[in-house]
Amino acid sequence: MPLDWAMTPGRMGVAMVTTAEGTGELAVAEAALAEIETAHATMAAAGHGPFASYYEGQLPRARALVARLRGA
């Protein structure tokens, strides 16, 4: 069931990125990044290539948002 579990933080993380883009809330962006990283790591460890690739593809957007909101 780790794959089913990982879908929840992954989806939540992607939604939170969208929210943080609209609100500019750094804490939400940081939480979103952590959720996506968790989902990616879990999917990769379980050997689920398609989902691992999807969340890996979401990481640059989340990282860029965190960096922007931190003023970097």
pTM for this one? Answer: 0.92
Structure-token pair, residue 14: 């992607």
Domain limits, the chain: 2-70
Report pLDDT digits (tens) over 16-46: 999 999 999 999 999 999 999 999 999 999 8
Q: Are 43 and 51 in contact (CB under 8 A)?
A: yes
pLDDT by residue (tens digit) across 46-65?
A: 898 999 999 999 999 999 99
Buried b (16+ CB within 10 A) or exposed e, 26-57: eebbbbbbebbbbbbebbbeeebeebbebbbe
Phi, psi of 49 (to 5 degrees): -55, -50
